[in-house]
Structure 1
Amino acid sequence: MNTKKIVITGSAGTGKTSVIDNLKSKNYYCFDELIRTLTSEVKDEVDASNHISNPIVFAKDPLDFNTRLLNGRLEQYKQAETLNKSLCFFDRGIPDVLAYMDYFKQTYQPVFTDTCKAHLYTDVFLLPPWKQIYKTDCGRFESFDDVLQIHEHLKNTYKSLGYNITEVPFGTVEERTNFILNTI
């Protein structure tokens, strides 16, 4: 079966995971965001006083961190190819790695862009920054100004890879989920 691969992306705190959880409650197959697991691993590797920004910055080896993230998202993509489902959802896609590395002005080898170009998603839904719902927590470090800038990096990265991006309007989790499902 040719499974449609749908990315739900956006800056931190835009409601992606809430939408993904709602899709799961409707029995859609969803791949979870990997960053929180990797962040926990990195926190165990470094001095706790350094946990003031994104793990891409405070990791001992940011390139290794991003390589693990890229490989994890690639593995999710490959798993999606084996599903017997008409569609599945991803809480962030492979190109998100590039967008964040660009935002943090980190260099990367061609394997990062090559992986994005070789593993294409069917649709990309971008949730815009929403100040009323944004909050920091132990795994979310960015200020709202950072979130706005990251949003632009995400949009530009996906567009540069040839994607048409559908921006999800503000609304309840149910309204946003229905918007995505109706658009597909």
Structure 2
Amino acid sequence: MPNLNSKRIVITGGPGTGKTSLINELIKRGYPCLEEISRQVILDARKEGAEQLFLTQPLLFSERLLEGRMKQYIEAEKMNSDLIFIDRGVPDVLAYMDYANENYPENFVEACNNCKYHHVYVLAPWQEIFTSDGERYENFEQAVNIHEQLLNTYKKYHYNLIDIPFDTIENRVDYLLDTLKRL
């Protein structure tokens, strides 16, 4: 049964902005969080022989992400907690497809309209902490472009975006929690 009092809070931003570190700090503080699923989709695709599924088959990759993010949305509805933090939301899938200039079916749009979050926090690109790795292929300039597309997509679905300023992870989490008290 859904917890009608729980608030689903998305943390989004381009690659390498500190989302995972923020989620890890929230977990450390005892908050329920749903972690980013794209790395798992990437690793699963590699097991199937696709090194960079988003680059070779962006629609298939995005369909898998959409399915996973919709499952997370439903999982968050069932959690017995007032606040549930989610590393990326359903609109992120559309933002990445738009960034790649790829078409997607209408069910992607329907998912964004049906999976509504209470608050969306945004981490801006930050050159000093940006790194690439085996699953993150984007460079910093691409991360900035993805960030802009994320902002456009969330605004298109009428979200009020809350920026988290550059600071230590602990201070960024404090800022997030303090602003939530005022919302």
TM range (shorter): over 0.9
Give the TM-score, by structure 2 length.
0.93
Aligned runs of 1:1-184 on 2, under 5 Å? 1-2=3-4, 3-46=6-49, 48=51, 51=52, 55-58=53-56, 61-184=57-180
Q: Runs (4+) of structure 1 moved beyond 6 Å? A: none
Give the fraction of aligned pairs with identical amino acids, expressed as a percent: 43
CA drift at 1:122: 0.3
CA drift at 1:68: 1.1
The code of the aligned residue for 2:27 comes to: K
Distance (whole Å) between structure 1 residues aligned to residue 112 and residue 105 of structure 2: 12
- The secondary structure found in structure 2 opposite 1:148 is helix
The code of the aligned residue for 2:59 comes to: L
The code of the aligned residue for 1:41 comes to: D
CA RMSD of aligned residues (A): 1.1
Distance (whole Å) between structure 1 residues aligned to residue 129 and residue 44 of structure 2: 27
Distance (whole Å) between structure 2 residues aligned to residue 26 and residue 111 of structure 1: 36
Instruction: Give structure 2 stretches of 5+ with no counterpart.
Output: none
25 and 107 in structure 1: CA distance in 2 versus 1, 3 angstrom threshold: same
Aligned length: 177
26 and 112 in structure 1: CA distance in 2 versus 1, 3 angstrom threshold: same
CA drift at 1:47: 5.9
CA drift at 1:46: 3.4
Instruction: Give structure 1 stretches of 5+ with no counterpart.
Output: none
CA drift at 1:44: 2.6
Distance (whole Å) between structure 2 residues aligned to residue 128 and residue 160 of structure 1: 18
What are the Cα deviations for residues 153-184 of structure 1, in whole angstroms up to 9, with x where unaligned?
00000000000000110000001001111111
Question: Residue 12 of structure 2 contacts residue 87 of structure 2 at CA under 8 Å; is this kept in 1?
Answer: yes
Distance (whole Å) between structure 1 residues aligned to residue 84 and residue 149 of structure 2: 24
What are the Cα deviations for residues 33-70 of structure 1, in whole angstroms up to 9, with x where unaligned?
0000000112233365xx4xxx4113xx3322211110
